Amino acid sequence: MDVQGKVVVITGASGALGEVVVRRFGERGARLALVDRKPDPAPGMLDGLGEALFMGGTDVTDPSSVERMVEAVIAARGRIDALLNLAGGWRGGTPLHETPLETWDFVMNLNARSVFVVCRAVIPRMIAQGSGKIVSVAAKSGLQGAANTSVYNASKSAVIRLTESMAAELKDHGINVNCVLPSIIDTPANREQMPKADFSKWVTPDALADVLLFLCSEASRAIHGAAIPVYGRV
């Protein structure tokens, strides 16, 4: 699963999953462009990552902000070999008729619009170079609706459908587009929200990072439009 020297753009880079994925790809020699809304990297975030670019202050839901980020990466690195759409978030806990419109806008923008906007900016560069890998984080819950999680489930379902559509459009351009479907990722925020859960059944960020690494490597060259289950034991 070699990504040595590959230019890899990672959104949501300073999130709980992002931090682990950044470190894993950095250890494998990827040339990283770390995209985050925060203006500055966290202390120590770039340690040991060589000449990693930190693209702070990027709003992944805003086309102008994303285009500036992509242009900066191309200017500095000349290409983008892989894009990891890790930015996302969860809100829920109410039935649809009690859910504020603001929740719909927030969740759909962060989880689905971000994938649309970032991919739309990156894809022309990948087509021009004749290769690329795009991997997004959807969710197991995007496969089926459930009570009190309508907006989140709809947003992750949209990510799956976007993945399938892009894969059909891009496979003849040498570009692989896939997504992963974690169940519950073992993060501090999820533990806080579900303190009585059995955390040992959840998917660790390390385990998910391994799957993302595979999908960004040449070993995944024959996989197009897949939604890979990464359920742990949930």
Catalogue the active-site residues: 152
Q: What share of the chain is helix, strand, coil (3-state, %, to 5)?
A: 45, 15, 35
CA-CA-CA-CA torsion sign (101, 88, 208, 219): positive
For residues 32 and 8, the answer to whether their CB atoms sit within 8 Å is: yes
Number of DSSP helices (H) and strands (E) in the chain, helices first? 7, 7
Q: Is 122 exposed, middle or buried (0-12, 13-18, 19+ CB in 10 A)?
A: buried
Return all residues near 184 (Cβ < 8 A) that are at least 6 apart.
190, 194, 197, 202, 203, 232, 234
Nearest-angstrom CA–CA distance, 125 and 91: 33
CA–CA distance, 200 with 203 (Å, rounded to integer): 8
Whole-angstrom CA distances from 21 to 89, 90, 95, 109, 217 are: 17, 19, 33, 23, 14
Closest Cα partner for 7 from 42, 53, 47, 39?
53
